[in-house]
Amino acid sequence: MMEYKGYYGKVEFDEESEVFHGEVINISEVVTFEGTSVDELKQAFQDSIDDYLEFCAERGEDPSKPYSGRFVVRINPELHKSIAIEAKARGKSLNALVNEILSKSVRS
C-alpha cells in the first residue's frame, strides 16, 4: 500500500508486461498510475495525485476527501437492537460503542 497526501494506492504487478500498475483506492473517482520500477511507480503515484488535485482546482471543485468519518452499515435488526441496548447499558451512544468495537478490532 502506498500513501501520499492522505490518498492510498493499491499496486499490482503485471508479469506479462513487467509493469506495476495501481489505483487510488480511497476516493470515488478513478485515478490510476503505473511504472516499471519502484521509483518510477512512486513518482507516478504522486504525480497522479497532484494532477487530480490540480484538475479539481482548475474546475473549481472540491477533491474527494479520502474519508468523511461516516459510512452506512446494514445489519440484522436483532443485532442492531442488541448493540443499541449494550450501548445504553454502557452509557454510550450507538456510534461511540461501534467506534470503540471497530477500533479494537482493527488494532488486533
Tell me if 7 is assigned to some domain.
Answer: yes
pLDDT bucket at 108, cuts 50 / 70 / 90:
low
Report the greatest alpha carbon distance in the chain.
58
Per residue in 27-81, pLDDT (tens digit) is 889 999 999 999 999 999 999 999 999 999 999 999 987 777 888 899 999 999 9
Task: Work out how many domains the chain is built from and give that number.
Answer: 2
Q: Are residues 52 and 9 in the same domain?
A: yes
Q: Are residues 43 and 82 in the same domain?
A: no
Domain that holds residue 51: 2-59
User: Going by C-beta distance under 8 Å and a sequence separation of 6 or more, which residues neighbour residue 14?
Assistant: 20, 21
The pTM (predicted TM-score) of the whole model is 0.66
**C-alpha torsion sign, points 48, 28, 24, 7:** positive
Tell me if 89 is assigned to some domain.
Answer: yes
Residue 98's Cα: distance from chain center in Å?
Answer: 19
